Structure 1
Amino acid sequence: MQESSMPNIEKQVQTLTNYLWSRKLPAEPEELRKKAIQLENKLQQDAGSLQSEKQLHGTVLNALRKTTYHWQKLSYDEKLSLVYMAARLDGGFAAVSRAFHEIQARVPDFKPQTLMDFGSGTGSVTWAAYNTWGQSLSEYLCVDSSAAMLALAERLLKGGLDSGKPHVPGVFFRQFLPVSPKIQFDVVVSAFSLSELPSMADRTEVIQTLWRKTGHFLVLVENGTKTGHCILMEARDLVLRGPEKSPLDRRPGHVFAPCPHELPCPKLSASQHQACSFSQAYSTIPFSWNQSHKEEKFSLVILSRTLPEKDHQWARLTQPVLKRPRHVHCHLCCPDGHLHHVVVTARRHGRHLYRCARASTWGDRLPFTTSPEFPLSSAQDPSDN
């Protein structure tokens, strides 16, 4: 960063951070076509035959430009890659580390040897994987369409030098996914990359390719926004829908985390769509403009080739725990596929479960395997307590 001597780097970092967080999906052609027909019909009714066909088309196009999200593909050159590194390296590392910890904690005997990272960027997935399974991993394949990003990631592995021994051995860089469908990796990751694809068709193709290359776990991470959550639910449904034609690996997909079920996401089917997101605290890179600690808000889905263990069907905390004297408010996604707001007390649920709930944090699992008893009635409000 010092060698680059870029002006207003702090402002550029903040601008890019805000832009990535507010990013939405590009409009699909069919969606635009429907909007255009609706606008045209409305204008014809309002204006009658006052406008010619050419004027009407021009008015519709202007209206679409004003009301449709203008999605643009980001092209990462050397300068923008540095800005992205300063903005996202530490937060991305924190989110992916949290996802890897979920696997490590629940399947401690899992010792992956190979990992592929799609949209590898500055290499935060490699660092997180090395930190988690460095003793067993022998091959890391980083795939990114930006040559500048790959060069920066390689330089970071070498301690900021252009040449030298990389800190993490066995890392390989490519601009394109491996062609052979027979090659599989123990862990396949896509972190903050699916949202950079220009259409649903592209996302579908990439997700199917990543799943074909998955030997054990497919880890998908996106921003903790409605858009990020929708992308992950789209990918989850695509894998759960069943195998594609003539699959080389016929093992079906299962949801490993965070969902305790394989039913439709209750947050998507709610009257008001909510993002299923989690938060991870982390220490930031000590740039002059950075706070020492931040929170990374992210959404994730981990898909597995094997059926999860019996305790997979434990409810998941979807919000921070609200602690009050002698009771705890827990918002849970439960195995029955519904969201429940439960008041946990020692008298109703037992001393051990109460202590467990009180010590738990947002994103943890609680051992409710059926619909929780004693739900909070709709008339009650936790703020009353």
Structure 2
Amino acid sequence: MPLPLNRALEAVLDGADPERLRRATTRLIDVYRSGAPPTEQVLSDRVSATAYAAYRMPATHAAVARVLRYALEVAPDLAPHSLVDVGGGTGAAAWAAADAFPGLASVEVVDGSADALAVGADVARHGPRALAGARWTRRDLGGGRALPRADLVTVAYVLGELGPDLRDRVVDAAADAASEAGAVVAVLEPGTPRGFAAALAARDRLLAAGWHVLAPCPHEAACPLAAAGDWCHLAVRLDRTALHRRLKGAALGHEDEKVAYVVARRTPADTPAGRVLRHPVTRKGLVQLELCRDDGTASREVVSRRQGPRYRAARHAGWGDQWPPEGTDPAD
């Protein structure tokens, strides 16, 4: 987690009752792990919203930051000036966007929980100018009202909490809000089969509307993993603060946030030849990569020491990275 967000959370959490936060965190974890869409507002009071900020903002921030980094690798010209964070809660995605795009000037976080928005606004006061001046708008996502126009629209960990019809309406509203030629929509869901299904449905809907995928897919064909009964996701490692460990009752100093996602733009970009689908397996003298390829297939590639630069690149490749890296000759 970046130091500014860490300090902002510490400033807002200073003086909060740690036992109340721990109990609220345990309840939230149980709700989200159930996998079922909530039947009522989850962040229904200040304590639950504060607990959510403490235990979920670091992971959400890490996931969105990584996803935006991958999008920038494919489309380095991305430079949004405005952001709408749909269902943004306490604003973790907005923090990640502000970090990724220094030119971001206008931020609006839209959510149905007044308590989450209030906590998010308190945290954002300790952030960069775009966040400190952000608008925090309470709105029922099912109300049918149009979203504000923006260059970048994020929908992070929202669709899984909605019914299928409402998911489609939210994706459509996000696409309508990102109306400019270079505008971008980023959808993120938990890296579970259910989360992947929601992200994949959003990808299909955006493609059908004429959008173009920036990441993770190096193609716009049907997902080969879904066809094989598998699911595409990414693991992002983040460090836990001492408070984070206490709230979650965790011993490890890190955790892996698994995320399924799609980033799409109205205009196409030069996508990579492939992307790494899992942690590479390194053995003596070789690296085994599971790849999604630009021809719409998924397959394994084994890179041996005899391949020189390609082997050295494979040893440094990570889950989610482009393959091969720029400057690596495919014939090596």
1:332 paired to 2:291: yes
Aligned residue for 1:255?
Answer: 213
Distance 1:277 1:365, change over 3 A: same
Instruction: Report deviation, 1:179.
Output: 4.5
In 1: Cα distance, 2:34 partner to 2:303 partner: 36
Structure 2 unpaired stretches of 5+: 1-12
Distance 1:7 1:169, change over 3 A: closer
Q: Contact 1:159–1:166 at 8 Å: present in 2 too?
A: no
In 2: Cα distance, 1:258 partner to 1:173 partner: 30
1:295 paired to 2:248: no
Aligned residue for 2:309?
Answer: 352
Instruction: Report deviation, 1:103.
Output: 2.4
Aligned residue for 1:188?
Answer: 153
Q: What's the TM-score, normalizing by structure 1?
A: 0.73
In 2: Cα distance, 1:180 partner to 1:12 partner: 33
After superposition, residues 73-88 of structure 1 pair within 5 angstroms as: 73-77=40-44, 78-88=46-56
Instruction: Report deviation, 1:295.
Output: 1.6
Q: Contact 1:158–1:167 at 8 Å: present in 2 too?
A: no
Deviations 1:80-127 (A, max 9, x none): 212211220100110011011112333333221001100111111121
**Same amino acid, percent of matched pairs:** 28
In 2: Cα distance, 1:156 partner to 1:23 partner: 28
Instruction: Report deviation, 1:293.
Output: 2.1
1:122 paired to 2:90: yes
In 2: Cα distance, 1:368 partner to 1:91 partner: 27
One-letter amino acid of the structure 2 residue matched with residue 292 of structure 1? G
1:208 paired to 2:208: no
In 1: Cα distance, 2:319 partner to 2:129 partner: 36
Instruction: Report deviation, 1:262.
Output: 1.2
Aligned residue for 1:154?
Answer: 121
Q: Contact 2:69–2:100 at 8 Å: present in 1 too?
A: yes
Distance 1:180 1:297, change over 3 A: closer
Which residue of the other structure, out of 187, 192, 197, is the alignment partner of 1:230? 197
In 1: Cα distance, 2:166 partner to 2:295 partner: 32
SS of match in other structure, 2:119: helix
After superposition, residues 1-385 of structure 1 pair within 5 angstroms as: 1=13, 3-5=15-17, 7=19, 9-24=21-36, 72-77=39-44, 78-134=46-102, 136-159=103-126, 168-176=131-139, 179=145, 184-197=149-162, 199-214=163-178, 215=180, 216-242=183-209, 252-270=210-228, 273-287=229-243, 289=246, 291-309=252-270, 312-347=271-306, 350-367=307-324
Output the aligned Cα RMSD.
2.6
Instruction: Report deviation, 1:336.
Output: 2.3
Deviations 1:205-236 (A, max 9, x none): 11111011113110011111001000011111
SS of match in other structure, 1:168: helix
In 1: Cα distance, 2:288 partner to 2:41 partner: 42
In 2: Cα distance, 1:87 partner to 1:257 partner: 27
Aligned residue for 1:29?
Answer: none
In 1: Cα distance, 2:294 partner to 2:177 partner: 29
In 2: Cα distance, 1:105 partner to 1:265 partner: 21
In 2: Cα distance, 1:93 partner to 1:366 partner: 25
Distance 1:267 1:122, change over 3 A: same
**Higher-RCO chain (CA-CA 8 Å, sequence separation at least 6):** 2
In 1: Cα distance, 2:159 partner to 2:203 partner: 13
Q: What's the TM-score, normalizing by structure 2?
A: 0.83
Distance 1:279 1:217, change over 3 A: same
Deviations 1:46-85 (A, max 9, x none): xxxxxxxxxxxxxxxxxxxxxxxxx534431222212211
Structure 1 unpaired stretches of 5+: 27-70, 243-251, 374-385
Distance 1:238 1:352, change over 3 A: same
In 1: Cα distance, 2:223 partner to 2:176 partner: 24
Larger radius of gyration: 1
Q: Contact 1:138–1:169 at 8 Å: present in 2 too?
A: no
